[in-house]
Structure 1
Amino acid sequence: MELLIVVAFFGYIYYLRNYADLRTKSEKEEENLKEGIRLFQTNQIHAAFDFFDQRIKTRPNSSVAYLYRARCFKEQNDFQAAMNDLNAGLSYDESVYGLHLEKGKLLFRNNMYDSALKALNKAIFNAGDQDPEPYYWRAMTRQQLNQEEEAQKDYKKEAEITEAGKHILIRDLSVKKPF
Structure 2
Amino acid sequence: MEVALLGFLFVVYLFVRYFVIDHDTPAEKDRLRFAEGIQLVQFHRYEEAFVYFNQVVKQCPKSSIAFAYRGKCHLRNGNPYSALFDLTVALSLDNTIPDSYLDKGIALFQLGQFGEAFKEFDKAVWYFRGQQPDAIRWRALARMQLDQYGPARNDLIRAIELGDENSAYLLKQPPFSNVIFS
Alignment check: 8 A CA contact 1:100 1:120 kept: yes
**Cα distance in 1 for residues equivalent to 2:10 and 2:48:** 41
Partner of 2:147 in structure 1? Answer: 146
Instruction: Kindly indicate whether structure 1 or structure 2 has the higher relative contact order, using CA contacts under 8 Å at least 6 residues apart.
Output: 1
Give the letter aligned to residue 86 of structure 1.
L
Aligned to 1:43, the other structure's residue is in SS state: coil
CA distance in 2, matches of 1:4, 1:57: 50
Counterpart of 2:41?
A: 40
Query: Highest CA radius of gyration, 1 or 2?
Result: 2
Give the alignment's Cα RMSD to 1 decimal: 2.3
Task: State the one-letter code of the partner of 2:33.
Answer: N
Change (3 A) 1:10 1:91: same
The 8 Å contact of residues 75 and 103 in structure 2, kept in 1 or not, is answered as no
Where does the alignment leave 5 or more consecutive residues of structure 2 unmatched?
Answer: 165-182
- Report if aligned partners of 1:129, 1:161 keep a CA contact under 8 Å in 2: no
Give ranges in structure 1 of 5+ residues lacking alignment.
Answer: 164-179
Q: TM-score, normalising length from structure 2?
A: 0.78
Which amino acid counterpart does residue 48 of structure 2 have in structure 1? A
Alignment partners' CA distance in 1, 2:49 and 2:10: 39
* Structure 2 match to 1:113: 114
Q: Contact conserved, 2:74 with 2:80, CA < 8 A, in 1?
A: yes
The Cα of 1:160 is off from its aligned counterpart by: 2.2
Q: Which runs of 4+ in 1 moved over 3 A?
A: 1-18, 21-25
Matched residue, 2:62: 61
Greater shift after overlay, 20-29 or 98-107? 20-29
Aligned residue pairs total 163
1:19 aligns with 19
Once the two structures are aligned, what percentage of the paired residues are identical?
Answer: 32
For normalisation by structure 1, the TM-score amounts to: 0.79
